[in-house]
Amino acid sequence: MKQAISFITLGVGDLARSRAFYRALGWRESSGSQAEVAFYQAGSVAFALFARESLAEDAGVPSDGAGFPGFALAHNVASEAVVDATLREAVAAGGRLVRPGEKAPWGGYRGYFADPDGFLWEVCFNPFFPLEENGFVRLPE
C-alpha cells in the first residue's frame, strides 16, 4: 500500500452544525459536496464530514461502542482491482477485513479494513474524484 492518506472523514452527530462550524472557521466547501456529505480541500488531503450513523453503516459496523470510533481514514486508488488488492495486502500485513470491496451506492467501489488498533481505513475507487498524477485527490472548487 502506498504511504498516502487521501481523505479524512469525520462521522459527526449533526452535519448542519458541523458545516456551520467549519464555515465559521473560514473553510470553503467543495462544489463536490452533497446534502449528506461535505467535502473540503485541506492541502493535499481531502477532508469530509458525514453523519456518524451513515459513515458507520457504510463501513458495516455499529455506530456506537467499540465498533466505530467516529471517523475513517481513506486511501483512494485508481481502480476497483487495486481496491481488492490493497484490502488483501492489509489483511496479509495483520489488518482485519471489515467490509470486502464492493460497489458503493454513490457509484464508486470501496471496502474497509481495520488496522491492529481498530482504526478504520476505507480503500476506495471514486470515478468522480480522479487521482492526480502524484496520487493526490483534488476536489472540484
Residue 74: which CATH number?
A: 3.10.180.10
pTM: 0.75
Question: Could you tell me if residue 133 is inside a domain?
Answer: no
pLDDT in tens, 54-90: 999 999 988 877 677 788 889 999 999 999 999 999 9
Task: Provide the domain count of the chain.
Answer: 1
Question: Could you tell me if residue 28 is inside a domain?
Answer: yes
Question: Could you tell me if residue 114 is inside a domain?
Answer: yes
Contact 125, 134 (CB under 8 A): no
- φ/ψ of 99, rounded to 5, equals -150, 120
Structural domain containing residue 32: 7-125
- Cell readout for 105 is 451506492
pLDDT in tens, 30-58: 999 999 999 999 988 999 999 999 999 99
Question: Could you tell me if residue 110 is inside a domain?
Answer: yes
Beta strand pairing status for 109-114 and 71-76?
unpaired
Question: Could you tell me if residue 71 is inside a domain?
Answer: yes
